[in-house]
Structure 1
Amino acid sequence: MSPVKKSLLTILGLIMATTAALAAMKAMDAEVSPVPPVAGPAVDRQVTVSTEVVQDKVLKGADGRVTVSLNLTAARLPVLDNRPVQAADLVIVLDRSGSMEGRKLEDARQAVIRLLDQMGPGDRLGLVTYSSGVQTRSTLVPLTETNRRQLALAVRQLHAGGGTNLGGGLSRGIDLLMRTPAGDRQRRVILISDGLANQGVTDPVALGRMASAAVENRFTISTAGVGLDFNETLMTAIADQGAGHYHFLEDPRTFARVFEEELQSARQVAAADVAIRIPLEPGVRLISAGGYPVHHDRGTAVVRPGNLLSGQSRTLFLTFQVPTDVEKEITLGRVGLTYRHQDESHTVNAPRPLTVACVPDPAAVMASIKKDFWAEQVVREEFSQLKEAVAADIRDGKKDRAQARIQAYESKQEAINTVVGSGKVADNLSSDVQDLRRQVAETFTGAPAAVAEKKKQVSKSMQYDGYKMRRNQ
């Protein structure tokens, strides 16, 4: 056996050993295999879709994971006389439980009043509050001067007290939009919470299922967690199922920024209700899609990454698993996109299906890696997965487990990069990974009370960073 091939086999062995170690840990989903194939861009008037397989060969008998880089780019909307392009319907669902007493509720009040000043007469706003019970402070109403004054008065009269019936508030906010005709409007629910759902519906699966009604009824649900005592996993899941955004507000003074971002993004939607649809060949599975839920509908994988804004470009990494028992070319599927623009439905399909080859030669597999796409996959997708997993370990007090994840990631990427030679990945390993390692160590240093507070702050901040980067938001 030649020295080169022996070296490649050694590297591949290290990669496979690392994979086994990660699987034994049961929680780290960072994919060991790099990624898959090519299809040129597909363009219609509003959206361009391009796909690239990061690695177009997989090793016979290996785990069969391949990743596709999917880029979605929206056209720029015309601006007419500096007027808003689209009217917005917003329903704010605000936590007023006892833990919101004081600064949090006051900042929330001021942020809603400021939002009223920014919305136009063609916009509509609804307000729901919840504690142990749920109150509709205002149905969805147009922002006439009279309605503005009444809404501002209702907001100023809010007070805190009671438990956290988050599910009841979410259900009421959804109902307000579903009972009001949409027209050609961008519609969203914004759910605010600073604590754990402890009354009414509390099951995360049931709350996620509740949020999924949004995509079926052409609106989105965004969430904002305030402070350090809410459940970030739940708030992320609700936003993902509702095709919206998750915001982390460690400082409640940033309430206004969240409302402004949601309003401005509602005004600039170029492609609404975006759905990625991939008819899968037998034996092929889509196992992850940039953190978004993957649904299956009669052999087709469906992912809903939210709206595309005017001029926006987003890249998501889709990871497939293919059979590797036989040497052959494998078709993954043909990526298609459906969306709405100006209340009309559109479909864009990639020009050709994505394919990979199952081969017995490790050197051929390593040589098929496309450096730039692989580097982006590592730094954006896999490192973000690592951060989210480490954040969960920190939250659970598992310092050694977090450090083991980091070491496993570092060993795997170093082994592959010995062959690929990406400067971007080298920088990630020498800088970002070392910073992450130090952050874990520092979080668990100090008196127990200080460590407990740092665990909450660091885990939420780290999870939020990974969430945004992985979804390219």
Structure 2
Amino acid sequence: MQDQPLLPCIELLPLKAALPAGQDSELTVLARLSPAQPVDSTGPRSPLNLALVIDRSGSMAGQPISMARQAAQAGIRLLEPHDRVSVVIFDDEVETLIPSQQVADPEKLCREIERITSGGSTALHAGWLDGAMQVAQFTDQRALNRVLLLSDGQANQGKRHISEIVPDVRGLTARQVSTSTMGLGRHYDEDLLRGMAEAGDGNFEHIEHASQLPGFFETEFHGMSRTTGHTVSLGIEPNPEVGSLRTEILNDLQMNDLRRAQLPNLIAGRPLEVVLTLQVPAQAEQAEQGVLRVRLAWTGRDGIRRKQRAQLNMPVLPGDQFDALTENADVRVALEVQLNAKAKRDAVHLIDRGDYAGSQRVLRNRQDVYAAHAPMAPAPVREQEMAEMSELIDGLMEDRQLTRKRAASQNYNRSRSK
């Protein structure tokens, strides 16, 4: 009899552990999703089927192309003989430097990587598509089949616009070929690369300096090797007996056709946190009230689609007893981080409208509010959040293009528990 797979742990944690009787209220809930650890972490992991797609356009000349070579070589050395890899390079033309093959001799592949030099323009879509086709030839339901795209510039050859490229990425995702993207420097199109990663069920990274590339490649490869589920969604199912329960997910997540939130891959050792708010109509005092369920669904590395539900029940207490309850510190910290991320989204929208003073004002106001709640956050979280907002505020006076990328990247990362 085949062993049943270990399921993720779903925790539903309310900010306060009750509802107030006889009055409308706002309920904040933290849904914490902890992927299961593999039963045998010492055995062989599931295979990877990868294409590394590297921008070699003229803007990559010098240190960027050198670091891209080093990053690709470091990634290849992390692979195992049962993995597959291909390498595609592009400028205004596309070249398959290494056709898809098993990693029998990683050092031989690394010597091929040394051939990469900088060239002309940026046929981003054609390069990505060639890499996707390399992966698609050998899709394996047991494997994580992924294109890893690195670019430092704007798509200016072939298909160029997000409305043209993202549907193609989504179509390959439906064929089990996912896409992660890395944007290097200050000139790439962050909306396009993020859109490709979201449509591709992968990750998006903003990389400011070429020296960061090997570390980001290693993080991506490590995450892929520990992925236990992909095409992950979270549905919110309010209890209709409670009345009209309006819900909002604070994380900046794409919604699928069924109005379920698309989540990052399930990776062992990386919990996902999603913050919800619910407008709850007045309830009668009672010992327990079912408030909502969540529905988590994912596809395992065995290709089987699975789902799991968890329910939140809460007492409904008189007002004085409700007021005496203390807040859950973990929920408060998660809520404030998502509110910081929302302020960064708002700042990006104002930057796009040319309202730089308004963008600064949004960030300053949010920083002041966060400072009041910051003492309850762990020191590393508190310091990072405050430093990032200060950097964005100052950056709006110095380099608005780079500041927009930073704000968009930070919002993306916080919304995905990174």
Give the TM-score category using the shorter length.
0.7 to 0.9
Q: Secondary structure at the match of 1:45?
A: coil
| 2:355 equivalent among 365, 373, 398 | 398
Q: Are 1:442 and 2:403 an aligned pair?
A: no
Instruction: Give the C-alpha shift of residue 432 in structure 1.
Output: 7.3
Map of 1:18 onto structure 2: none
State whether residues 274 and 308 of structure 1, in contact with CA within 8 Å, keep that contact through their aligned partners in structure 2. Answer: yes
Compared CA separation, residues 370 and 112, structure 1 to 2 (3 A):
same
Contact 2:10 2:310 in 1 (8 A): no
- Residues 459 and 227 of structure 1: is their aligned pair in 2 closer, same or farther, counting only changes over 3 Å? same
Residue 345 (str. 1) matches residue 345 (str. 2): no
Q: Render the CA deviation track for 1:320-371: whole Å, top value 9, x for unaligned.
A: 6x6x8x75699875211222334053534334367999x9x9x999888844
Runs of 5+ in structure 2 lacking a partner?
none
Q: Quick one: which amino acid aligns to residue 143 of structure 1? A: V
Measured in 2, the distance between the counterparts of 1:291 and 1:171 equals 27
Q: TM-score, with normalisation over the residues of structure 1?
A: 0.72
Question: Secondary structure, in 3 states, of the residue corresponding to 2:97?
Answer: strand
Change in 2 beyond 3 A, CA 1:84/1:248: farther
What does 1:24-39 correspond to in 2, within 5 Å?
none
Which AA in structure 1 matches 2:209? D
Quick check: 1:76 aligned with 2:34? no
Do the aligned residues in 1 keep the contact of 2:13 with 2:31 (CA within 8 Å)? yes
Name the CA distance, whole Å, in 2 between partners of 1:135 and 1:356. 63
What is the aligned partner in structure 2 of residue 11 from structure 1? none
Match of 1:174 among 105, 114, 132: 132
Count the aligned residue pairs. 406
Query: What is the CA–CA distance in structure 2 between the aligned matches of 1:388 and 1:182, rounded to whole Å?
Result: 37
1:294 aligns with 2:247: no
1:472 equivalenced with 2:417 (yes/no): yes
Matches within 5 A, 1:123-202: 123-145=83-105, 149=108, 151-202=109-160
| Distance 1:264-1:364 versus aligned 2 partners, 3 A rule | same
- Structure 2 matches for 1:205-284, cutoff 5 A? 205-213=163-171, 215-279=173-237
The verdict on how the C-alpha distance between 1:441 and 1:248 changes in structure 2, with shifts beyond 3 A counting, is: closer
Amino acid at match of 1:456: Q
* Residues 257, 406 of structure 1: alpha-carbon distance in 2 compared, 3 angstrom cutoff: closer
TM-score normalised to structure 2 length: 0.80
1:306 corresponds to: 264
Deviations 1:136-185 (A, max 9, x none): 3333211123x863x44543333322222222222222232223231411
Distance 2:299 2:388 in 1: 40
Name the SS of the counterpart of 1:243 in structure 2.
coil
Residue 73 of structure 1: how far off its partner (Å): 0.8
Is residue 91–residue 125 contact of structure 1 (8 Å, CA) maintained in 2? yes
**Rounded Cα–Cα distance in structure 1 between residues aligned with 2:379 and 2:143:** 44
Alpha-carbon distance in 1 for matches of 2:388, 2:166:
30
C-alpha separation in 2, matches of 1:289 and 1:173: 34
1:442: how far off? 3.3
User: Where in structure 1 are there 5+ consecutive unaligned residues?
Assistant: 1-42, 446-450
Contact 1:86 1:266 in 2 (8 A): no
CA 1:241/1:310 → structure 2, altered by over 3 Å: closer, same or farther? Answer: same
1:113 equivalent among 73, 95, 118: 73
Mapped partners of 2:310, 2:137: distance in 1: 40
The CA RMSD measured in Å over matched residues stands at 4.0
Shift of 1:374: 4.6
Tell me how far apart the structure 2 counterparts of residues 354 and 54 of structure 1 sit (CA, whole Å): 13
The 1:277–1:434 alpha-carbon spacing in structure 2 relative to 1, beyond 3 Å, is closer
**Equivalent residue for 1:13?**
none
Distance 1:290 1:355, change over 3 A: farther
- Kept after mapping to 2: 8 A contact 1:194/1:225: yes
Q: Distance in 1 between matches of 2:385 and 2:225?
A: 38
Task: Give per-residue Cα distances to partners, 1:24-62, cap 9 Å, x unaligned.
Answer: xxxxxxxxxxxxxxxxxxx97231112234467699999
In the alignment, is the contact (CA less than 8 A) between 1:51 and 1:70 conserved in 2? yes
Q: 1:52 aligns with which of 8, 13, 27?
A: 13
- Counterpart residue type for residue 68 of structure 1: V
SS at match of 2:263: coil
- The amino acid that maps onto 2:416 is R
Contact 1:75 1:312 in 2 (8 A): no
Q: d(CA) in 2 for partners of 1:60 and 1:173?
A: 59
1:85 is paired with a residue of what secondary structure?
A: coil
How far residue 223 of structure 1 moved from its aligned partner, in angstroms, is 0.9
